[in-house]
């Protein structure tokens, strides 16, 4: 009986796992709560996420993935083990998995991710560039002899790619994403209104009233601590405030998309102009993001269906592209020889 094939989107904000033939089977925040004294795991995923900013001194909530790469190997391994067991409970044969990483990762960072996935109970790993996974997950025909452009807007990174004939023509990855916007909102509220808030509040403001372009102002009430008195306080915040707070990150994303277009062969740029740019990732849902990129590039932009799931869905599909892609998908089986015990595909 064949084992399962999994696609793992190891994101900064959340981990999304898809299974071949089943679609997305797990979507959990990439957070783990541990005992501050001995480091043992107390909670993982959504339960740990709800503890952010609310834990006593005896408990620490940790994000083991930062900017799309593993920052704490031990906690990442624990987190992945829990998630893989949830998906593959009662399976006799360990699954194969494809894991996506930003194009900007180093060899050391790639190896760390591979070993963490293997230690979580996977017998073989394929690495796929995040933007390539997004293109496949969006349903684009990457084998066709015309250019497809995808902008994957994640929590820790933004990955931009132009693909044609199963290969990458132009790609760039920057370590700017939704989490950076959350931090920018926190800094803005403190400097503008003297209000100290946490990450959860900033993220909620971004999702509810955040905008990438100007529009009719919308307000929301932010609750936090007064920076001077230290007492609880609420503050009315407008969508213009949020747009001003995240303007630097938006500008970096726009410039990255423009650079990729500038470095793309003219014929493929013509294809992109005809087909448009596909946006995926959680940040693609920010109101006005497609409009901002369309106005700054002159190319029509489309938001993919279920943009948060595109990378995970494309990652599991990428297993079938091993040895058939000219770039972007890598079978790193040599890493598994000493790590994946007796199970071989």
What is the tens place of the pLDDT at every residue in 244-266? 999 999 999 999 999 999 999 99
> Residue 65's closest CA among 199, 179, 183?
179
pLDDT of 333 above 50? no
pLDDT in tens, 93-110: 888 889 999 988 888 998
Per-residue pLDDT at 217: 87
If we measure between CA atoms, which residue out of 126, 112, 108, 103 comes closest to residue 76?
112
Task: Please say if the pLDDT value at position 234 is more than 80.
Answer: yes
pLDDT at 96: 86
E strands, the chain, are 5-10, 14-19, 23-29, 32-35, 41-44, 59-62, 65-66, 69-70, 96-101, 124-129, 148-153, 158-164, 167-174, 195-196, 219-226, 232-238, 277-280, 301-303, 329-331
Question: Is residue 342 pLDDT above 50, yes or no?
Answer: no
| Interval 79-97: pLDDT, tens | 999 999 999 876 668 888 8
Q: What is the pLDDT of residue 321?
A: 66
Q: Domains in the chain, start-ordered, CATH in brackets?
A: 5-30+67-132+311-335 (3.30.420.40), 139-176+248-308 (3.30.420.40), 178-246 (3.90.640.10)
Instruction: Answer yes or no: is pLDDT of 331 > 60.
Output: no
Residue 337 has pLDDT above 80, yes or no: no
Q: Is the pLDDT of residue 239 over 80?
A: yes
What pLDDT score was predicted for residue 343? 26
Alpha carbon distance 334, 327 (integer Å): 18
Report for 33-37, 89-93, 268-272: range of highest mean pLDDT? 268-272
What is d(CA 174, CA 159) in angstroms, rounded to the nearest whole number? 7
Query: How confident is the model over 277-311, as pLDDT tens digits?
Result: 999 999 999 999 999 999 999 999 999 999 999 99
The answer to whether 222 and 189 have CB atoms below 8 angstroms apart is yes
Residue-level pLDDT at 83: 94
Band (pLDDT 50/70/90 cuts) for residue 318 is confident
pLDDT of residue 182: 96
Q: Are 285 and 211 in contact (CB under 8 A)?
A: no
pLDDT at res. 340? 30
Question: What was the pLDDT predicted at 345?
Answer: 33
pLDDT of res. 324: 57
Half-sphere exposure of 163 (CA within 13 A, CB side): 29
């Amino acid at each position: 009986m064949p084992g399962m094939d999994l696609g793992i989107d190891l994101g900064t904000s959340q981990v999304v796992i898809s299974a071949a033939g089943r679609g997305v089977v797990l979507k959990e925040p990439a957070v783990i709560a541990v005992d501050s004294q001995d480091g043992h795991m107390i909670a993982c995923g959504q339960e740990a996420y709800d503890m952010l900013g609310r834990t006593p001194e005896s408990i620490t909530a940790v994000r083991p993935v930062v900017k799309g790469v593993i920052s704490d190997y031990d906690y990442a391994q624990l987190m992945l083990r829990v998630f893989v067991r949830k998906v593959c409970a009662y399976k006799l044969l360990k699954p194969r998995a494809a894991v996506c990483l930003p194009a900007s990762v180093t060899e050391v960072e790639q190896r760390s991710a591979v070993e963490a996935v293997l230690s979580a109970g996977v017998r073989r790993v394929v690495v796929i560039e995040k933007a390539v996974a997004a293109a496949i997950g969006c349903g684009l025909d990457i084998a066709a002899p015309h250019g497809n452009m995808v902008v994957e807007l994640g929590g820790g990174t933004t990955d931009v790619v132009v693909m044609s004939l199963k290969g990458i023509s132009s790609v760039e990855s920057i370590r700017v994403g939704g989490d950076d916007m959350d931090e920018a909102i926190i800094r803005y509220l403190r400097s503008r209104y003297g209000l100290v808030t946490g990450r959860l509040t900033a993220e909620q403001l971004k999702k509810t009233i955040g905008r990438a372009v100007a529009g009719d102002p919308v307000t929301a009430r932010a609750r936090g601590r007064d920076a001077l008195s230290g007492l609880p306080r609420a503050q009315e915040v407008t969508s213009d405030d949020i747009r001003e707070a995240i303007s630097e990150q938006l500008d970096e994303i726009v410039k990255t998309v423009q650079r990729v277009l500038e470095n793309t062969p003219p014929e493929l740029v013509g294809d992109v102009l005809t087909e448009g740019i596909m946006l995926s990732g959680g940040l693609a849902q920010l109101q006005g993001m497609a409009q901002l990129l369309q106005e700054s590039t002159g190319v029509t932009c489309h938001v993919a269906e279920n943009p948060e799931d595109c990378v995970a869905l494309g990652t599991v599909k990428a297993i079938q592209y091993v040895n058939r892609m000219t770039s972007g998908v890598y079978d790193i089986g040599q890493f598994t020889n000493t790590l994946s015990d007796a199970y071989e595909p």
